[in-house]
């Protein structure tokens, strides 16, 4: 039970994470990732409906954490 409780705490922490730094405000899309060694976002952007970013975008929109434009630019529409 302690391991399950720990996993639940970790999941709650991930859900509460701030993803704003992964949102490209110019292109209005999510970036693929962040390069910690170079302290910058990756060049690639998610713009396809069939990607794991779609799930992130959907959840972030439902939580009102991303602007609607990122969904409209994702190929989801």
CB–CB of 49/75 below 8 Å? yes
User: In which residue are the tokens 């990607």 written?
Assistant: 51
Amino acid 3: pLDDT: 93
Binned at pLDDT 50, 70 and 90, residue 6 comes out as: very high
Amino acid 77: pLDDT: 47
Q: Which two tokens stand for residue 7?
A: 């996993």
Model's pTM, two decimal places? 0.47
CB–CB of 73/47 below 8 Å? yes
User: In which residue are the tokens 């396809």 written?
Assistant: 48
CB–CB of 22/36 below 8 Å? no
Amino acid 34: pLDDT: 87
pLDDT of 50 over the 60 cut:
no
Amino acid 60: pLDDT: 72
- Mean pLDDT score of the chain: 78
pLDDT of 4 over the 90 cut:
yes
């Amino acid at each position: 039970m302690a391991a399950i409780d720990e996993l639940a705490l970790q999941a709650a922490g991930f859900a509460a994470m701030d993803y704003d730094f992964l949102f490209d405000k110019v292109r209005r899309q999510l970036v693929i990732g962040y390069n910690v060694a170079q302290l910058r976002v990756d060049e690639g952007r998610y713009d396809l409906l069939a990607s794991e970013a779609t799930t992130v975008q959907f959840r972030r929109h439902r939580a009102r954490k991303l602007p609607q434009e990122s969904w409209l630019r994702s190929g989801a529409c």
